[in-house]
Amino acid sequence: MRKGEQTRAAILNAALELAGRDGLEGLTIGLLADRMHMSKSGVFAHFGSREDLQIEVLMEYHRRFEAEVFAPSMEAPRGLPRLRALVDRWMDKRIREVTTGCIYISGAVEYDDRAASPVREALVKSVRLWRAALLRAITQAKEEGHLRADTDPRLMLFEMYSLTLGLHHEQQHQELMHTDLLHLFAQNPLRPAHLASPRRIEPAGPLQWIEHDGGRYRVGHEGATHEHFAFDCETPAHDVLLRPFAIASRVVTNGEWRAFIEDGGYRMAGLWLSDGWATVQREGWGHPLYWELRDGQWQSMTLAGMHPVDDDAPVQHVSYFEADAFARWADKRLPTEQEWEVAANAASSTSTAMTQCFGPVWQWTASPYVAYPGFRTAAGAVGEYNGKFMCGQFVLRGGSVATPPGHTRATYRNFFYPHQRWQFSGLRLAEDR
């Protein structure tokens, strides 16, 4: 292999790792250049554009998936032995990818509701090939008499994918373990570190306003009629009527929040909701959770211990009350969850893309966590999962640095009480047009 080919292969390996961790949308030339200790132009020399890089990552992942899962399984006898081999190797690969993430899963939720694009088409093609292979193996197992005669192959395929409900629930636990660990370590006077260094977050650039026309939009998830996973509270998909609005191209930064503090934002009762102001007074709030003023410099407790607050990084660990007060101070407002979803789905088709959609912070919206029109609580234990909490909480959209790869999507509804701020929560501003 020539040197150029070796360099390209090394770049692709690094890109696969980054895409598995951050998703295809989180894969940038800048991050890849830093990882490879190369210039951006050096990366561009091997991949002409970010889109070309994303497609090549998908193709490489598909080649490896075929080599590790599909091809060896075809050596097993036709029928149930082959089906078991496919599923076993698939699960083994998922276990090995527990820290890097499955690009099929993360890509599916990233591009689920996006407009058509070459990246989305390449992803859809790969996933459909895999689902077709599984369906064919199930059908053959039935034909060989290894499965019951009344087995519905398509229903069995659906049920196999339904097992992901437990996996997605466990992913929520993984995120909560990080938030709880940070809170626990923050109570320790030694401020211990869980990570060697803070996770690097690329600056999102200058704030721009992205305008959206008013009108009727479809939001929410199609549920059982759709091939990708969603929790019940994301259903059913329904139409909403929105007035013209504009949404910020990025989330609010630490530097902007520091200006809010220095202007006396935590001392201006007129900025706060009544319950919010009562909480500020009762708890003595004067800055985001985990911020400390040391020798005139703001520092923050992170999973990597105490570090200076980076003005260009997104503010995090703020409550709904704080987010609402900041928006009022900035003469803006929080977006509704419907506005956020419409803007996120349009991100790939607008001239000014809305960045930081699915990280690095969950983003408070102005919407209370209530049932969608037509929502019905599921029977049995699953019904205990979301519906019973639809009272007194507010919706957050997006994802955070602690969210496992592949767990985010445009329809995802996170929810917390308005005073809670130990989650990796921030905000994005909006305004009427």
| In a shared domain, residues 244 and 372 | yes
- Most confident by average pLDDT, 45-54, 143-152, 384-393: 143-152
pLDDT at 253 exceeding the cut of 70: yes
- Phi then psi for 395, rounded to 5 degrees? -90, 135
pLDDT in tens, 67-124: 999 999 999 999 999 999 998 898 777 666 655 567 776 676 667 666 788 988 888 8
- pLDDT bracket for residue 294 (50, 70, 90): very high
CATH value at residue 248: 3.90.1580
| In a shared domain, residues 158 and 224 | no
pLDDT at 224 exceeding the cut of 70: no
| In a shared domain, residues 175 and 155 | no
- pLDDT bracket for residue 261 (50, 70, 90): very high
Beta-bridge partners for 342: none
The count of C-alpha atoms lying within 13 angstroms of the C-alpha of 81, restricted to the half-sphere facing its C-beta, is: 6
Helix H or strand E encompassing 344: helix 337-345
Query: How many angstroms separate the CA atoms of 206 and 250, rounded?
Result: 8
What pLDDT is attached to residue 421?
Answer: 96
Lowest mean pLDDT among 158-172, 278-292, 332-346: 158-172
- Over residues 196-222, the mean pLDDT reads 88
Distances (CA, A) of 349 to 22, 218, 306, 345, 352: 21, 16, 39, 8, 9
Distances (CA, A) of 414 to 124, 174, 209, 368: 26, 15, 25, 11
| In a shared domain, residues 157 and 217 | no
| Residue 51 near residue 29, CB atoms below 8 Å | no
Query: How many angstroms separate the CA atoms of 98 and 95, rounded?
Result: 5
What pLDDT is attached to residue 19?
Answer: 81
Classified as helix, coil or strand, 32 is: helix
CATH value at residue 65: 1.10.357.10
Beta-bridge partners for 398: 362
pLDDT in tens, 108-127: 666 766 678 898 888 888 88
pLDDT at 227 exceeding the cut of 70: no
Query: How many angstroms separate the CA atoms of 117 and 49, rounded?
Result: 14
Tokens 């929040």 belong to residue: 257
Mean pLDDT, all residues of the chain? 87
| In a shared domain, residues 312 and 406 | yes
- Over residues 264-289, the mean pLDDT reads 97
Q: What angle separates helix 103-111 from helix 3-22, to the nearest 10 degrees?
A: 60
Q: Which of 107, 138, 162 is the last residue of a domain?
A: 162
Distances (CA, A) of 343 to 13, 332, 338, 370: 32, 17, 9, 21
**CB contact set of 297 (below 8 Å; sequence gap of 6+):** 308, 309
Higher pLDDT, 164 or 281: 281
What pLDDT is attached to residue 393?
Answer: 96
pLDDT at 302 exceeding the cut of 70: yes
Higher pLDDT, 231 or 332: 332
Query: How many angstroms separate the CA atoms of 424 and 408, rounded?
Result: 14
Q: What is the pTM of this model?
A: 0.66
Q: Which residue in 315, 292, 295 sits closest to 424, CA to CA?
A: 315
| Residue 356 near residue 344, CB atoms below 8 Å | no
Q: What angle do CA 205, 257, 203 make, to 5 degrees?
A: 20
Q: Which of 162, 196, 219 is the last residue of a domain?
A: 162
| In a shared domain, residues 211 and 243 | yes
What pLDDT is attached to residue 222?
Answer: 81
| In a shared domain, residues 129 and 188 | no
Higher pLDDT, 433 or 176: 433
What pLDDT is attached to residue 137?
Answer: 95
Q: Which residue in 330, 225, 312 sits closest to 268, CA to CA?
A: 330
Q: Which residue in 331, 328, 330, 333 sits closest to 269, CA to CA?
A: 328
Tell me the residue range of the domain where 207 lies. Answer: 170-432
pLDDT at 45 exceeding the cut of 90: no
| In a shared domain, residues 135 and 179 | no
- As for how many domains the chain has, the answer is 2
Query: How many angstroms separate the CA atoms of 72 and 57, rounded?
Result: 22
| In a shared domain, residues 344 and 402 | yes
Q: Which of 162, 186, 221 is the last residue of a domain?
A: 162
| In a shared domain, residues 154 and 194 | no
| In a shared domain, residues 34 and 176 | no
| In a shared domain, residues 147 and 177 | no
